[in-house]
Structure 1
């Protein structure tokens, strides 16, 4: 068992997240997930809609969590400040943006992908999969469940169907536990 992990949550901030009522639970669950970070862990947060953006990082690299957990607190604050108003869903762009942080990192490393919709702009997700696990969370019945399953399966991650926002906290807790075992 390793003493640290490198993780990047990738959060869909398209307007459909607002319309479908997933903003509050997504923020709450994502903040809880980053709060699990321990000293020495590498952490960044990416969000995407029509394009991908860095929500939190240490410049162009993962932030290394210190003894005071300052980076986990800063990441949670950045997640809280997200707005969910984007006009499209570029899952592939989110994967590419997260990979810029994780590719140079040592193992274990993983992405946590959240989406309630279909890829409808940007690079194809299946053409941009990393060589490490992506834990994918389909938020609601409108998600492209087949794509989310393929992303998880092809990367050695786990797919979660989260048809109800209340299940997200469980999914984040389980994913955190799986990462701790690597």
Structure 2
């Protein structure tokens, strides 16, 4: 009799837990692009997102795109920073060499950091008008907003962040056909 009661209690507990509402599965967040023509595609991990930040001390808005996969955030990752004076808009092609004033200094409106499969750092961070010889460039467009996140496209001309010497002599690493679907994080102020 005691065994029957324990078995009945176990069945009740199993039934109670199996009937609980389960959380919806996470959408298939991803990012993909070509590196010098070679296709790369990654499933985003739980740390990948888009964060919208409003600087209360100025009229600047910052949007940080963090594309991370796997367990090592220093490999196969892309970080893009978008600076605007208004909230980012969908369907607008933002270009890196369209400068913005940040802390009374002109700066690129976009910056790109790419960490390859070995963790080597590449970036497009220089404003050409302030850095003669620099060929850093890039663009980003938010294309669609859904309840789960944002879709967009990007491309960039990046360089080894540890290289020294003449800017015009640096070897480029070109990111093309970039595409993503990432979760949005609520605006931070």
Q: Which TM class, normalised by the smaller chain length? A: under 0.3
User: Which structure shows the bigger proportion of residues in strand conformation?
Assistant: 2
More relative contact order in 1 or in 2 (CA 8 Å, sep 6+)? 1
Scaled by the length of structure 1, what TM-score is found?
Answer: 0.26
